[in-house]
Amino acid sequence: MAVRAIRGAVQVDADEREQVLEATAELVSEVMRRNGLDPEDVISVLFTATPDLTSEFPALAARKLGFVDVPLMCATEIGVPHALPRVVRLMAHVETDRPRSELHHVYLRGAQALRLDIAQ
C-alpha cells in the first residue's frame, strides 16, 4: 500500500452552519465514493476554509460521516484578495494500491473553477 494525497474543494452558498456541514459532507462523500475508499483507508484529513467561513468547523461533517478515529484538522486559508469566496478545501492522506494517475480529486459547485483541468 502507498500513501497518497487526494485534494478537493466545495463552495458554500453562505456562511451558515448547516450549509458548511452539508457542503463538506457532500465533498467528503464524493472523495470517498470516487476513489473507492472507506474511512479505514484514511490516515488523516486537513480541512481549510476561506476567512469568510466561520460558522462551523468543516471537520465536524466528517465526524458525522463516521470518521471517528481519523485525525482531522481545520485551518484558515490565507486571505488572498482575488480568491474565490466561501470555499472549504480538503487534503486527505489515504492508504491505497492505486497509482496517482488513478486518483480522483473532487471539486464541486463553484469550486470547479479552481481546477478546471481536473474538475469533474
Reply yes or no on whether 109 is catalytic. Answer: no
Reply yes or no on whether 107 is catalytic. Answer: yes
- Pick the catalytic residue: 22, 26, 74, 98? 74
- Pick the catalytic residue: 4, 56, 86, 107? 107
Phi and psi at 90, nearest 5°, equal -140, 155
Q: How far apart are the first and last CA of the chain?
A: 26
Q: How far is 1 from 94, CA to CA, in rounded Å?
A: 9
Reply yes or no on whether 17 is catalytic. Answer: no
- Pick the catalytic residue: 7, 34, 98, 109? 7
Reply yes or no on whether 89 is catalytic. Answer: yes
Reply yes or no on whether 7 is catalytic. Answer: yes
- Pick the catalytic residue: 17, 63, 95, 102? 63
Reply yes or no on whether 22 is catalytic. Answer: no
What DSSP assignment string belongs to 39-67? GGGEEEEEEEE-TT--SS-THHHHHHTT-
Catalytic residues: 7, 63, 74, 77, 89, 107, 115
